[in-house]
A and B are shown apart, each in its own frame.
Chain A
Amino acid sequence: MRPPQTVQELLARAEALAGRTLGWLASQEGLDVPPDLRRHKGWIGTLLEAHLGATAGSRAEQDFPHLGVELKTLPVDREGKPTESTYVCIAPLDGSMARTWDACWVRQKLSRVLWIPIVTAPALQDRRIGAPVLWRPSPEEEAQLRADWESIAEAIHLGETWQLEARRGRALQLRPKAASSKELTWMLDEEGEWAQVNPRGFYLRTSFTRAMLRRHLAAR
């Protein structure tokens, strides 16, 4: 699919998918539906990106860079409650993280998001695509994200990554982000020494995405 030229075109493509199953969409794209997602993490996102015309692939930029829009799928139950937290981006632990919220990657990624809820079902091909939500953080949401990011960033700058637990942050949290515990990255510890640790990623809590969805959509 060619990339959408405008945000409206992107939104219309997403709207047209609302109510369809992943099995239907896969057949439209000529793809097989994997038996489950354990060995195919990211399959749903890739499927939607292909259909909607995303260009970034796995590059570290927004999925629709020319529109300034990031695509995020959001698994939800039938009541519209997100079933898992949402990965935003990797958290650099090696001292290369932005020093201010305005310059940080989290803010850029979340500045405009096209959320596509995926309503859960036992079989992957039966999961349905929900109504899309084109979202910008409200001033209150941005204030909360910023406060969380600053709190986490400060701890990372001070080399306190060891002590950072997922409990910190009301909207944004830091969690291990790796295929296995064997995957390691370098970080600067409290003494300024290099140490190895599992990579960490920024995630949005389900309470945050749930509140966001509830403001835009009514459950059936």
Chain B
Amino acid sequence: MPVRLLPDAVVDQIAAGEVVERPAAVVKELVENSLDAGSTRLRVHLEAGGRDLVRVLDDGHGMGRQDALMCLERHATSKIQAIEDLVHVRSFGFRGEAIPSIASVSRFELTTRPAEDEVGTLIQVAGGAVQAVRDAGCPPGTDIKVRDLFFNVPVRRSFLRTAATELGHCTEAVLRQVILRPEVDVLVLHHGRDHLRLSAVPDRVQRARDVLGSVAERLRPVRFQAHGVQVEGLVAPPSAHQSSSKGVYLYVNGRYVRDAVLRRGLREAFQGLLPAGRHPVAVIEVRVAGEEVDVNVHPSKIEVRFRNPRDVSEVLASGLREALRRPEPRQRSATTGFDKRARAPEGTLPLPGLAPHPSDDPGFVERAPATGPSWLAELVAEPSAAPSPSPTLDPKASIPSAPPAERAASAPTVTPPVAPTPSPAPSPEEGGPSVDPAAPRLADVVPQLLLAGDLACASVEGELVLIDLRAVRAALVERSLREGGAPERLLLPVVCTLGRSAAGRLVAWREPLDDIGLSLTAFGPGEVAVKRRPALLGGVSWPELLVALAEVLPASPQDLPVAALHLLARTPQVPLATLDQAVALVEQGASLPLAPPFAVCMPSRALRGLIP
């Protein structure tokens, strides 16, 4: 067969294969265009998972007739004019390929009107051939209907999956585009029914919460910068792992990417923290200067190439590790400079200056606790518990600063690793030792194994760390009680029959007990009802505890005796059942020292000596 030039229509269809592989790719391209057009209201209508119809309506700036016709020509774009512009391109699209590619493999209809024009334009295209161009009455913005995708490429159509599968991909394509755009109101309808609705919200944290569901409550802010790479976002603790990587959203300069360099950084940060085959949850944006990244690697622009990939993955890993070391927020929602403001205008990459630390942000989202103050909020804000991000922060900072030999000396192996009856660590105001801010803390370890419900094992630099979870919990409970107990109201009060004497004494002490988050009322003869309890006393047996408490309380109420606090802190609770619970507990106690009575470190040499 002689060599011939292919007709334009065939060239378009072949090229379309790179850009448009399934309905989700159409959704991605059209949504990108809408966002580039400054839309704040996006409606996506789908039928048969996008096979029969993908329709994207927006309220963006629309196009005049000339532009509308031009956008159907291959390599026609308003976004760049010269190759140099690629360096600074901030729009999602720039190649001018998407619209002609889609139009060449579908029945395509474009209706558009800029706000300043009185009449809109309607263009109908079938298989790449323009069928009609006429005036149309329409609201400002753009409405694109893509019907019967691949109707003229039956082979490609036969490769499409079921409507449900394609719908899932389309939904994911929308989510990826809008998770960083909280100001955009999004509605996806499938056969006219609501399928996904994301109302416009003031910040990305709330948008992430809407997209990620319950795990969003556990997200913590990521903010880090080094070597000209800025990392911002949200990450969930390792214990929130998922079975698929769907909870990972990675962006470079606002553009969703599937990039090996970023994946490597993510993997490094979670090294040893996730069970095999599980995936973390994170929404991360990496910002670099335009000349440091090439976004024109593939027509779908989902792949990028970095000038210094190693720097990028190391900075990402460091930023994530720094965020993961912080205690988990509970009563407050995670937030960050990622961000209360609307998306920065195109072309304003805020390098190299760092925005203020999240805790300095006046727009910091703080959900008021249901009742009482949150001691955890204090823990989060504690400078020693959360090292502020610094451009010079060592990526290996998660390793305790004290040398292993020194730690081994502080925890001789002859010391029993677990005190039989752990008592809360004395606080400095009680005459206890002051805590060296540089000393290793529980924040430096993540439990890898749970033993007997109250012991956890971890490792640091080849040393075995044993953590007494009872001691950790006791310290947390006592600290919490001193700060008001972060009380929780119970759906049903716990009614305890104690006898007239004990019940009467506890009711007399009602106000001091209320101050530590324990609310009691008289219920019946010899009965009290527990209506609120300190959050960390969820697993106790109340009748036994209240009888013991009545015994340590003097007859006349005054300040609550320390013995009462110790009793509440040490009271046995239901043993932990899962490693995740242990991880969560240690995360809450992140600021406690990595030393007795909470933990002992056993050097590998000493461990080897145990084996005859």
Write out, one digit per residue, whether chain B residues 471-502 have a CB within 8 A of any chain A CB (1) or not (0): 00000000000000000111111110000000
Q: Is the CB of A218 within 8 A of B488?
A: yes
Choose one: B193, B531, B533; the contact of A18 (CB below 8 Å).
B531
CB distance from B296 to the nearest CB of A (A): 38
Q: Is the CB of A169 within 8 A of B490?
A: no
Task: Enumerate A96-135 residues with CB–CB distance to B below 8 Å.
Answer: 117, 119, 128, 130-131
A216 to B372 Cα, complex, angstroms: 12
Given contacts A19-B529, A151-B194, A216-B370, whether A131 and B491 have CB atoms under 8 Å apart is yes
Which residues of the other chain, B, contact A167 by a CB distance below 8 angstroms? 193-194
Task: Enumerate A169-198 residues with CB–CB distance to B below 8 Å.
Answer: 169-170
CB distance from A17 to the nearest CB of B (A): 10
Q: Is the CB of B206 within 8 A of A19?
A: no
Main secondary structure of the interface of A (DSSP, over half): mixed
Say which one of A36-44, A54-62, A87-95, A139-147 lies at the interface with B.
Answer: A139-147
A75 at the interface (CB under 8 A from B): no
Which residues of the other chain, B, contact A8 by a CB distance below 8 angstroms? none
Q: Is the CB of A19 within 8 A of B495?
A: yes
Which residues of the other chain, A, contact B193 by a CB distance below 8 angstroms? 165, 167-168
A2 at the interface (CB under 8 A from B): no
A168 to B523 Cα, complex, angstroms: 45
Which residues of the other chain, A, contact B554 by a CB distance below 8 angstroms? none
Which residues of the other chain, A, contact B488 by a CB distance below 8 angstroms? 217-218
Interface residue range, chain B: 20 to 34
Which residues of the other chain, B, contact A168 by a CB distance below 8 angstroms? 193-194
A185 to B155 Cα, complex, angstroms: 52
B197 at the interface (CB under 8 A from A): yes
Which residues of the other chain, B, contact A219 by a CB distance below 8 angstroms? 490-491
Choose one: B197, B370, B492, B535; the contact of A220 (CB below 8 Å).
B492
| Nearest-CB residue, chain B, relative to A155 | B192
CB distance from A68 to the nearest CB of B (A): 21
A163 at the interface (CB under 8 A from B): yes
A140 to B492 Cα, complex, angstroms: 27
CB distance from B210 to the nearest CB of A (A): 9
Q: Is the CB of B491 within 8 A of A217?
A: yes
Q: Is the CB of B206 within 8 A of A131?
A: no
CB distance from B146 to the nearest CB of A (A): 24
B201 at the interface (CB under 8 A from A): yes
B199 at the interface (CB under 8 A from A): yes
Q: Is the CB of A130 within 8 A of B199?
A: no
A119 to B495 Cα, complex, angstroms: 15
| Nearest-CB residue, chain A, relative to B370 | A216
Write out, one digit per residue, whether chain A residues 11-30 have a CB within 8 A of any chain B CB (1) or not (0): 00001001100000000000
Choose one: A140, A143, A165, A217; the contact of B489 (CB below 8 Å).
A217
Q: Is the CB of A144 within 8 A of B199?
A: yes
Given contacts A131-B531, A140-B201, whether A216 and B194 have CB atoms under 8 Å apart is no
Q: Is the CB of B491 within 8 A of A76?
A: yes
A191 to B529 Cα, complex, angstroms: 60
Choose one: A18, A19, A169, A218; the contact of B194 (CB below 8 Å).
A169
Write out, one digit per residue, whether chain A residues 203-220 have a CB within 8 A of any chain B CB (1) or not (0): 000000000010111111
B391 at the interface (CB under 8 A from A): no
Q: Is the CB of B491 within 8 A of A213?
A: yes
CB distance from A109 to the nearest CB of B (A): 21
B538 at the interface (CB under 8 A from A): yes
Given contacts A80-B491, A163-B192, whether A218 and B206 have CB atoms under 8 Å apart is no
Given contacts A19-B523, A163-B192, A215-B370, whether A130 and B491 have CB atoms under 8 Å apart is yes
Which residues of the other chain, B, contact A217 by a CB distance below 8 angstroms? 370, 488-491
A147 to B43 Cα, complex, angstroms: 14
| Nearest-CB residue, chain B, relative to A131 | B489
A220 to B206 Cα, complex, angstroms: 29
Write out, one digit per residue, whether chain B residues 198-222 have a CB within 8 A of any chain A CB (1) or not (0): 0101000010000000000000000
Which residues of the other chain, A, contact B206 by a CB distance below 8 angstroms? 140
Choose one: B199, B489, B535; the contact of A147 (CB below 8 Å).
B199
| Nearest-CB residue, chain B, relative to A213 | B491
Which residues of the other chain, B, contact A147 by a CB distance below 8 angstroms? 197, 199
CB distance from A76 to the nearest CB of B (A): 7
| Nearest-CB residue, chain B, relative to A76 | B491
A217 to B532 Cα, complex, angstroms: 9
Q: Is the CB of A143 within 8 A of B194?
A: no
Which residues of the other chain, A, contact B199 by a CB distance below 8 angstroms? 143-144, 147
Which residues of the other chain, A, contact B529 by a CB distance below 8 angstroms? 18-19
Q: Is the CB of A218 within 8 A of B492?
A: no
A18 to B521 Cα, complex, angstroms: 11
CB distance from B178 to the nearest CB of A (A): 15
CB distance from B585 to the nearest CB of A (A): 17
Q: Is the CB of B370 within 8 A of A131?
A: no
Which residues of the other chain, B, contact A119 by a CB distance below 8 angstroms? 491-492
A170 to B193 Cα, complex, angstroms: 12
| Nearest-CB residue, chain B, relative to A215 | B370
User: B residues engaging A (CB < 8 A)?
Assistant: 192-194, 197, 199, 201, 206, 370, 488-495, 523, 529, 531, 533, 535, 538
Q: Which 8 A-B residue pairings sit nearest by Cβ, starting from the closest?
A: A218-B488, A19-B493, A217-B491, A80-B491, A130-B491, A143-B199, A217-B489, A147-B199
User: A residues engaging B (CB < 8 A)?
Assistant: 15, 18-19, 76, 78, 80, 117, 119, 128, 130-131, 140, 143-144, 147, 151, 163, 165, 167-170, 213, 215-220
- 25 A–B contacts from the bound complex (CB under 8 Å): A18-B493, A18-B531, A76-B491, A119-B491, A131-B490, A131-B491, A140-B201, A143-B201, A144-B199, A167-B193, A167-B194, A170-B194, A170-B197, A216-B489, A217-B370, A217-B488, A217-B490, A217-B491, A218-B488, A218-B491, A218-B533, A218-B538, A219-B490, A219-B491, A220-B491
